[in-house]
Amino acid sequence: MDVPRWQDVLDAHERIAGWVHRTPVLTSRAIDRIAGCELLFKCENFQKVGAFKFRGATNAVLLLDPAAAEKGVATHSSGNHAAALALAAANRGIKAHIVMPVTAPEIKKKAVSGYGAEITWCKPTLEARESTLEKVVSSTGATFIHPYNNFAVISGQATAAKELIEETGSPDIVMVPVGGGGLLSGTAITVKSMSSHTRVIAAEPEKADDAYRSFRTGILQPALPPATVADGLLTSLGPLTFRVVREYVDDIICVSEQVIIDAMRMVWERMKIIIEPSSAVPLAAVLDNKDLFAGTRTGIILTGGNADLDNLPF
Amino acid sequence: MDVPRWQDVLDAHERIAGWVHRTPVLTSRAIDRIAGCELLFKCENFQKVGAFKFRGATNAVLLLDPAAAEKGVATHSSGNHAAALALAAANRGIKAHIVMPVTAPEIKKKAVSGYGAEITWCKPTLEARESTLEKVVSSTGATFIHPYNNFAVISGQATAAKELIEETGSPDIVMVPVGGGGLLSGTAITVKSMSSHTRVIAAEPEKADDAYRSFRTGILQPALPPATVADGLLTSLGPLTFRVVREYVDDIICVSEQVIIDAMRMVWERMKIIIEPSSAVPLAAVLDNKDLFAGTRTGIILTGGNADLDNLPF
């Protein structure tokens, strides 16, 4: 699989422009004072389906040729990628087949079926997901859209950082959380193309530090059994995203659960916006490493707003 | 006491412009679909101190002549007006004396003292508040800034609706919640001056329906013992705000607690922004009376975002 180049990001941005929100960049003097630096928050929590994932899913769906599109798209996911793919497919008027574990949160099930996707239920194991998806794909001919290890998805996710830099100039640092690395690799491609002196730093929960260990050892590490409140970051890097991360990312910082929860609450209280736990991980890394960020202008992509209001971590 | 005229609102807006945020107007296609009308949300939850109250407090503080300013300002409040007056005073470099009941929420106490105000504690009764305030005023010479029954405060609150109409043209209806009526009377003055065909409709919790009863009977009704989740709306109209409400307001609609809570949650979930319960009352009135609003363009002022994250009503 090829790594997307800058031209692919430019094409993706043009392709998805009519479908995705150009989300605002917000600032908070109160949080800047606490952090000791200037933070620029790109609010993908305001994106359609409440997450940046809609960018990549939309790009992937629009890139299908008519024959493939007619057979629909498929994926397995219990999270934001499922809802994103469901809506992107509905927008093009094609079918989305989503394999979901029976244990997925009620609110995610409702979102996915609300967008008209066909849900196939499976047991909550990776094996069950993958074998069920294989059956769905072979019986329907649908195209599998991987949530992150996918050329079109990465190119789409890369457009968030493009808008951030267009709006704010060249920050010293751009930060995103890392799970499977789709947003991180897209962001890295964009940042290094638009503003070569800007550093790209990822943030990861200590309790799901596989990307950190892959980055340090140079050998792709599998995800450990998930144990973090940041439920969007449980996956491990894929071969494609790992290649981009090794080439372009400057550093990965790990943070504890409590620091993530405190950072999430700080955004809710000070900025009056709702972000999900995964979105709080970069701010947590800043607050936990103030010396590293002192005096910088640092852009942070707030990845999503689909917090479970019945199970808040604070 | 005189009723503010349109020119007073124009003056107030110019006076406070450098101090208050020009907050955004947000829309939500998802909520529009549910409500059956086009809603324009003026986001005063993003205002400084997290509430529109900062507009009126700032105008009142800036209007003081130098001799009065030197002696500071005073009020009794356990809510957003206390924080707003504290910050407005700090911005002018003068003292704020705030009388607060010992039972005020920890987070409000911290906000007020964080802005450098001097807090005088009292028992949690209206009598104790008023007698304590009287002592503070007579010993300091500070100017009492009433939270709503005050010419300068009303003129300041009126500027939120001015920005809403400037940004969106002439909506068919503008809605605000009503407690003491400072925002409502300011809004009514603005709306009838800028867009005479636009209706002004207030929304009030059934469990604190004193403004509704005052409006219907023409006789100022006292607040009943408070029992609503909308803790910003416990006060009753004052003589000045009642005069404006009778003259300019088209209607007041009452809503039940459950509808308020559902509307609040809907804004959190669909718009990913944090509003306090009082802010949800107008949307609750729309959702509870869809026939009245069908097909209209209706502006709603989201009054504040200081929700107590440790005691959510849902």
* pLDDT per position as a tens digit, B33-48: 999 999 999 999 999 9
User: What Cα–Cα distance (Å) separates residue B51 from each residue in A26, B13, B155, B194, B218?
Assistant: 18, 16, 16, 23, 30
Nearest to B272 among A274, A310, A314 (CB): A274
Residue A280 lies in a domain: yes
A60 and A47 both lie in a single domain: no
Percent of residues, chain A, with pLDDT higher than 90: 89
User: Does a structural domain hold residue B156?
Assistant: yes
CB contact under 8 A, A268 and B309: yes
**Candidates A265, A273, A314; nearest CB to B272:** A273
pTM here is 0.95
State the number of CA atoms in the 13 A half-sphere of A7 facing the CB. Answer: 0
Identify whether A309 is part of a domain: no
CATH number, domain of B70, equals 3.40.50.1100
Which of A58-62, A122-126, A147-151, B287-291 is predicted least confidently? A122-126
Is the CB of residue A30 less than 8 Å away from at least one CB of chain B?
no
Q: Which of B33, B272, B276 to mutate: most A Cβ within 10 Å?
A: B272
Distance CA B273, CA A305 (A): 9
Q: Per the CB < 8 Å rule, is A272 touching B312?
A: no
Mutation pick from A25, A29, A34, A272 vs chain B, by most beta carbons of B within 10 Å, is A272
Tens digit of each residue's pLDDT (9 = 90 or more) over A27-82? 999 999 999 999 999 999 999 999 999 999 999 999 999 999 999 999 998 789 99
Domain stops at, among B144, B160, B181: B144
Q: Could you say which of B144, B161, B182 is where a domain stops?
A: B144
For chain A, give the mean pLDDT.
96
Alpha-carbon gap, residue B192 to B295, rounded angstroms: 21
Asked if the structure places residue A1 within a domain, the reply is no
**Is residue B268 within 8 angstroms of chain A, CB to CB?**
yes
Distances (CA, A) of B212 to B150, B203, B208, B235, B291: 21, 9, 9, 13, 20
Together in a domain, B20 and B169: yes
- Segments of chain B assigned E as strands: 25-26, 38-43, 73-76, 96-101, 118-122, 143-144, 173-177, 199-205, 251-255, 297-302
> Does B30 touch chain A if contact means CB atoms closer than 8 Å?
no
B159 and B46 in one domain? yes
Same domain, A79 and A219: no
A185, A227: one domain: yes
The reply to whether residue A309 touches residue B268, judged by beta carbons under 8 angstroms, is: yes
A143-144 sheet: strands from edge to edge: A118-122, A96-101, A73-76, A143-144
Residues A182 and A47 in one domain: yes
Query: Are A13 and A117 part of one and the same domain?
Result: no
> How many structural domains are present in chain B?
2
| pLDDT above 70 as % of chain A | 100
| Domain-terminating residue out of B109, B144, B179 | B144
Examine residue B168 and state whether it is found in any structural domain, yes or no: yes
pLDDT for A214: 97
* pLDDT, position A77: 86
**Is B314 among the domain residues?**
no
Q: How far is CA B180 from CA B83, B177, B183, B282, in A?
A: 17, 10, 8, 15
CA B136 to chain centre: 25
Mean pLDDT, rounded, for A292-311: 96
| Cα–Cα distance measured from residue A276 to residue A302, given in angstroms and rounded to the nearest whole number | 9
Task: In whole angstroms, give the CA distance from residue A282 to residue A179.
Answer: 12
Q: Which two tokens stand for residue A129?
A: 């997901």
Interface touch A272/B50, C-beta < 8 Å: yes
The pLDDT tens digits along chain B (314 residues) read 799 999 999 999 999 999 999 999 999 999 999 999 999 999 999 999 999 999 999 999 999 999 999 999 999 987 899 999 999 999 999 999 999 989 888 878 888 999 999 999 999 888 899 999 999 999 999 999 999 999 999 999 999 999 999 999 999 999 999 999 999 999 999 999 999 999 999 999 999 999 999 999 999 998 877 789 998 888 899 999 999 999 999 999 999 999 999 999 999 999 999 999 999 999 999 999 999 999 999 999 999 999 999 989 99
Q: Are residues B132 and B186 in the same domain?
A: no
Which residues make beta-bridge pairs with A313?
none
Domain assignment present for B309: no
Same domain, A204 and A262: yes
Same domain as B171, residue B45:
yes
List the domain range (segments joined by +) for residue A84: 54-144
A313 within a domain of the structure (yes/no): no
> Is residue A88 domain-shared with residue A175, that is, in the same domain?
no
Residue A301 tokens, joined: 């992509």
Within this chain, do residues B228 and B239 fall inside the same structural domain, yes or no? yes
